[in-house]
Amino acid sequence: MRAATLVFFDLYLCEMSNYRKGLHTRYDLKIHIVWITKYRKPVLHGAIAKRVRELMRETCLANEIQIVKGHVSKDRVHLLISYGAATVRHVYQ
């Protein structure tokens, strides 16, 4: 039982290092976004898929958003992003 506790504690410490820091806060805001094509038509392939990937990266870079994971399928785009509190304030102002 003790070994499992140590492993969990090590994983917890690793995760804590990924937190963003504010003046009096630590936070990790993540969101999973899925875009689906109309009628789920498989149109996201080849050059279109590459362009979608480029646009996602450019948009996230411009807004100080980190892409944790992402995948472009033929009929959908999955993104797991991490963002800061300043990004939320920027969007809602």
- 3-state SS of 2-40 is HHHHHHHHHHHHHHHCCCEECCCCEECEEEEEEEECHHH
**d(Cα 44, Cα 52) in Å, to the nearest integer?**
8
pTM: 0.70
**d(Cα 93, Cα 79) in Å, to the nearest integer?**
24
Exposed / middle / buried, residue 78 (Cβ in 10 Å: 0-12, 13-18, 19+): middle
Question: What is the chain's pLDDT, residue by residue, as a tens digit (93 residues)?
Answer: 444 444 444 444 445 567 777 788 778 889 999 999 999 999 999 999 999 999 999 999 998 899 999 999 999 999 999 988 777 666 555
Give the domain CATH number at 59: 3.30.70.1290
In a domain, 5, yes or no: no
In a domain, 12, yes or no: no
- In which domain, by residue range, is 40 found? 21-92
